[in-house]
Amino acid sequence: MPRGFPLFILAFCLLVFLTWIGLTITQQDRTIETEIAIAAPPEAVWRILTDTGNYAMWNPFILTLSGNLSEDEKLHITIRPPGDSETDFVARIITITPNRELAWRGGLAIPGFFTGDHRFVLEPTGDGHTKLKQSEHFYGLLVGPLFAGMLDRTEIGFRAMNEALKARCESHP
């Protein structure tokens, strides 16, 4: 074994550690939050939101969503943010409470690089209507400037989906 070998390993480990610290410090989170009032009760909104086989008829953002809508089940999702191409990914349902909340977690195959927790929350407003909150919390090493433009377009996609869901719910009571 060469004489400087242990010193080389120590220096390499130190470099890896400092790089990891630097990446951890520069990691950025971003949350997109949107909401809309829908003139329909939560049960009607839930029925359309969970009728994933008909998304192609009305949803401009989530083009397809397939899978069993049960906690811990996998979903196969295709989205198209405005100005972007279609993206396919797999997510896992983390919360499902009928007429109230649907949430899933998806991201890159390598944990810690880019993950998103997507959430729909339906709140009754007391007058037979619903406030829909659609949000996503993105986190991981690649969330920063590398994906900023894509996340801006994703927010526009959320708003377009909210408007389309409102129109569908209000025209299909």
> What is the Cα–Cα distance from 143 to 152, expressed in whole angstroms?
12
Domain 29-171 bears CATH identifier 3.30.450.40: no
For residue 105, the cross-strand partners are 92, 117
Where do the H-state alpha helices sit in the chain?
Answer: 5-26, 42-49, 55-58, 148-171
pLDDT of residue 25: 47
User: 49 with 40: CB under 8 angstroms?
Assistant: no
**Spatial CB neighbours of 44, under 8 Å, sequence gap ≥ 6:** 130, 169, 172, 173
> What is the Cα–Cα distance from 13 to 7, expressed in whole angstroms?
10
Q: Spell out the domain ranges in the chain.
A: 29-171
pTM across the whole model: 0.82
Q: Provide the token pair at 135.
A: 């949000």
CA–CA distances in Å: residue 155 to residues 21, 139, 147, 151, 160:
30, 15, 12, 6, 9
pLDDT of residue 43: 97
Residues of the chain with pLDDT under 50: 25
Q: What is the pLDDT of residues 68-94, one digit of tens each?
A: 999 999 999 999 999 889 999 999 999
pLDDT of residue 31: 93
